[in-house]
Amino acid sequence: MVYRQTSRPHSDRKDWQNLQRLFPFIWAYKGRVVIALVCLVLSKLAVVGMPLLLKDIVDGLDSQNGVVVLPIVLLLAYGALRMAGSLFNELRDAVFARVRYHAMRGISQRVLSHLYDLSLGYHLDRKTGGIIRDLERGTNSLSSILNYLVFNIIPTAAEFTMVAVILLGKYEAKFALVTFMTVVVYIAFTLSVTEWRMHYRLKMNALESEANTYAVDGIINYETVKYFNNEAYELSRYDGTLKEWENAAVKSQNSMSLLNFGQGAVIAVGVTFMMIYAAQGVVNGSMSLGDLVLVNAMMLQLFLPLNFLGVIYRALKYSLADMDMMMRLLDTPEEIVDPPEAKPLRVSEAHLRFEHVDFSYNDDRQILAGISFEIPPGKKVAVVGPSGAGKSTLARLLFRFYEADRGHILIDQQDISEVTQASLRENVGIVPQDTVLFNQSIYHNIQYANRQATMDDVIHAAKVANIHDFIQSLPDGYDTIVGERGLKLSGGEKQRIAIARVILKNPRILVFDEATSSLDSRSEQSILASLKQVAMRHTTLVIAHRLSTIIDADNILVMDQGRNIEQGSHQALLAQGGLYAHLWELQQEKREHELALETVADSV
């Protein structure tokens, strides 16, 4: 399956549907939402009431009767309204904080959970840096959208409605008409220009994700970059993308300057007309000086947030675009899904059987063709063959990272495609060929197999895996941090930790996927006895490259080009003189050469 890159700009966004998907997270605290809205309304009532009091204050001061008490009372009321407006604003923010951050937490957790539910195929094709950047931007965009709606858009709309009602009720219709026309022209201009320049921002997002992907991939593969002296190449890819981002950012900034000037011009024209009409009213006696102050104060009060609304609208559009990236992650379909009637796997004997299994990653290349074998309870079966024969694919199918195209995989007569994935993986453990560790302590990495395990349990597993003495020799012991992907440890040390981890898990079925491939000959021999001891009590599938590690297997399956071409015990396969015997001969020659080199090294 080909997966669509999430960081690519999309023109088919579904902003309203995306917003609707946020409602359950917001409505989880509906009481707080209602209280916040009440505080919002009270705040705006206080804000709109201030110009009304200001009019009466000015008219009182302009009066010829010399009464001073009334303005003082109104001034006190004016101060009280200003304080009330600030109080209710802060109460709204404080009450709504829980709603906002709960929504951020909920959507982030859901997206990450969904990423865990996606198949291995998706994660092999993924761009880790781009996905993490999309998730980060999407989460931040959720907070921004809620802020814009609750703290800017809704309050501005409420204030505009109140101002329009006051203007229509107290003055000629032309004042309300000018206000309405100015707002309409302003919004129309903002929408049209913002839509025109939106693609610059989308391109910036896509290029930023691409650059971030290059940076993350390069740092993760730091050693590979150094091995091949490709620092300049990685930097050129990163800088080339940032150069495109820079050009898009400059165009975005220039177009934003044009938009800001246009918005300022619209507001200036509207305010000018309002003040001309108000001044004419004062001159002809139809309006008082306080009325002029009231109209001026209301216009400034309305257009200050309206001016900011242009910035808010642009930011909201950008946030919606960022959220769309995250929602597309959430909409990526799961390939491996438990059927509705799936039941937990019940393991009694741990009898494993592959029946005529076919599999291919792509339609043009078949990986497995008609593979059939079984592992009786407590027995060990090894699978060997040249690289690309499909050996490791058997483990991926057993863990249901992929579904078989045809055939069945059975554990105690239960088809693994019909049981829950969680119960399946509880009963199967693996020591992978490429052991990747968390950038945490050695203790954390071993205990990861069983989070309820005690320190004594971890130490016992490490002793069985022949890694305890090495851990004790470290300055921080089990608290030693292993580095990104375990880079502070050697390949053999990482594999021993992986072996300790699977020992701690203690599953009924064990898979060793070339579990000693990173060990030298001496280390390999020292750990083989431990592996044999562990495998004695388990049904074991060994995927091996070194044939010396599986000579004691109850049955050996020889694969080539996805097919089973030989099968039998070690001695029987040697007697056949086929592919297995040829591989054995080659490895024996290589082993004798390695031992000779080690002998020379010891003598020196």
What CATH number corresponds to the domain at position 585? Answer: 3.40.50.300
325 lies in the same domain as 359: no
- Residue 2 belongs to some domain of the structure: no
Sheet containing 428-431: order of strands: 428-431, 509-513, 539-543, 380-384, 555-560, 563-568
- Closest by CA position to 589, among listed 551, 548, 550, 542: 548
* 186 touches 267 (CB < 8 A): yes
- Collapse the DSSP code of 294 into the 3-class scheme (helix H, G, I; strand E, B; otherwise coil) and give the result: helix
- Alpha carbon 332 to its chain centroid, in Å, reads 12
- If you average pLDDT over residues 573-600, what whole number do you get? 80
Sheet containing 352-359: order of strands: 368-375, 352-359, 406-411, 414-415
- If you average pLDDT over residues 371-396, what whole number do you get? 90
Q: Dihedrals φ, ψ of 346, to 5°?
A: -110, 115
Q: How confident is the model at residue 309 (pLDDT cuts 50, 70, 90)?
A: low
- Closest by CA position to 161, among listed 260, 306, 311: 306
- If you average pLDDT over residues 197-222, what whole number do you get? 84
* 346 touches 37 (CB < 8 A): no
- If you average pLDDT over residues 16-40, what whole number do you get? 83
The percent of residues in the chain predicted with pLDDT above 90, rounded, is 25
- Collapse the DSSP code of 25 into the 3-class scheme (helix H, G, I; strand E, B; otherwise coil) and give the result: helix
Over the stretch 531-567, which tens digit does the pLDDT of each residue have? 676 677 789 999 988 888 888 889 999 999 889 999 9
154 lies in the same domain as 296: yes
Q: b/e for 27-62, b at 16 or more Cβ within 10 A?
A: eebeebbebbbebbebbbbbbbbbbbbbbbbbbbee
Q: How far apart are CA 291 and CA 297, in angstroms?
A: 10
Q: Compute the CA torsion angle 199, 200, 206, 211 (nearest 10 deg).
A: 170
Over the stretch 220-243, which tens digit does the pLDDT of each residue have? 888 888 888 888 999 998 999 999
Identity at 139, one-letter amino acid code: T
**Number of Cβ atoms within 10 Å of the Cβ of 171:** 18
Q: How far apart are CA 92 and CA 51, in angstroms?
A: 22
Q: How far apart are CA 198 and CA 295, in angstroms?
A: 36
- Residue 339 belongs to some domain of the structure: no
117 lies in the same domain as 57: yes
What pLDDT is recorded for position 527? 64
The radius of gyration computed from the CA coordinates of the chain, to the nearest angstrom, equals 35
- If you average pLDDT over residues 41-68, what whole number do you get? 74
* Partner residues linked to 430 by β-bridges: 511
Helices (H), 400-490: 421-426, 442-447, 455-464, 468-473
Q: Output 124 or 327, whichever has higher pLDDT.
A: 327
Q: Compute the CA torsion angle 329, 335, 336, 338 (nearest 10 deg).
A: 90
Q: Compute the CA torsion angle 215, 219, 224, 230 (nearest 10 deg).
A: 40
Q: How far apart are CA 48 and CA 243, in angstroms?
A: 48
Beta strands at 509-513 and 352-359: parallel, antiparallel or unpaired? unpaired
CATH number at residue 275: 1.20.1560.10
Q: How far apart are CA 242 and CA 244, in angstroms?
A: 5
287 lies in the same domain as 396: no
86: containing domain: 15-331
- Residue 598 belongs to some domain of the structure: yes
- Residue 592 belongs to some domain of the structure: yes
319 lies in the same domain as 440: no
Number of folded domains in the chain? 2
Residue 523 has pLDDT above 50, yes or no: yes
**Number of Cβ atoms within 10 Å of the Cβ of 436:** 11
Considering 4-8, 260-264, 402-406, the range whose residues carry the highest mean pLDDT is: 402-406
327 lies in the same domain as 356: no
What pLDDT is recorded for position 597? 64
- Residue 77 belongs to some domain of the structure: yes
- Collapse the DSSP code of 553 into the 3-class scheme (helix H, G, I; strand E, B; otherwise coil) and give the result: coil
Indicate the pTM of the whole model. Answer: 0.67
What pLDDT is recorded for position 550? 86
Q: Dihedrals φ, ψ of 475, to 5°?
A: -55, -40
Q: Output 463 or 275, whichever has higher pLDDT.
A: 463
Over the stretch 156-176, which tens digit does the pLDDT of each residue have? 788 788 888 888 878 888 888
Least confident of 22-26, 68-72, 216-220: 68-72
278 lies in the same domain as 413: no
Mean pLDDT value across the chain: 83
299 lies in the same domain as 360: no
**Number of Cβ atoms within 10 Å of the Cβ of 489:** 22
What pLDDT is recorded for position 369? 92
- Residue 338 belongs to some domain of the structure: no
Residue 41 has pLDDT above 80, yes or no: yes
Q: Tokens 């024209």 sit at which residue?
A: 269
What pLDDT is recorded for position 359? 93
Q: How far apart are CA 88 and CA 93, in angstroms?
A: 9
Provide the token pair at 585.
């001969």
What pLDDT is recorded for position 1? 38
What pLDDT is recorded for position 427? 93
Burial class (CB in 10 A: 0-12, 13-18, 19+), 335: middle
What pLDDT is recorded for position 460? 92
- If you average pLDDT over residues 196-223, what whole number do you get? 84
Q: Compute the CA torsion angle 20, 22, 27, 32 (nearest 10 deg).
A: -120
- Closest by CA position to 563, among listed 403, 394, 426: 394
- Residue 10 belongs to some domain of the structure: no
* 59 touches 24 (CB < 8 A): no
363 lies in the same domain as 436: yes
What pLDDT is recorded for position 9? 44
* 397 touches 355 (CB < 8 A): no
What pLDDT is recorded for position 472? 93
- Alpha carbon 515 to its chain centroid, in Å, reads 31
- Residue 336 belongs to some domain of the structure: no
Q: Tokens 């440890």 sit at which residue?
A: 489
Least confident of 123-127, 410-414, 459-463: 123-127
378 lies in the same domain as 269: no
Q: How far apart are CA 357 and CA 338, in angstroms?
A: 20
Q: How far apart are CA 565 and CA 563, in angstroms?
A: 6
Residue 8 has pLDDT above 60, yes or no: no
96 lies in the same domain as 148: yes
183 lies in the same domain as 66: yes
**Number of Cβ atoms within 10 Å of the Cβ of 399:** 18
Q: Output 25 or 500, whichever has higher pLDDT.
A: 500
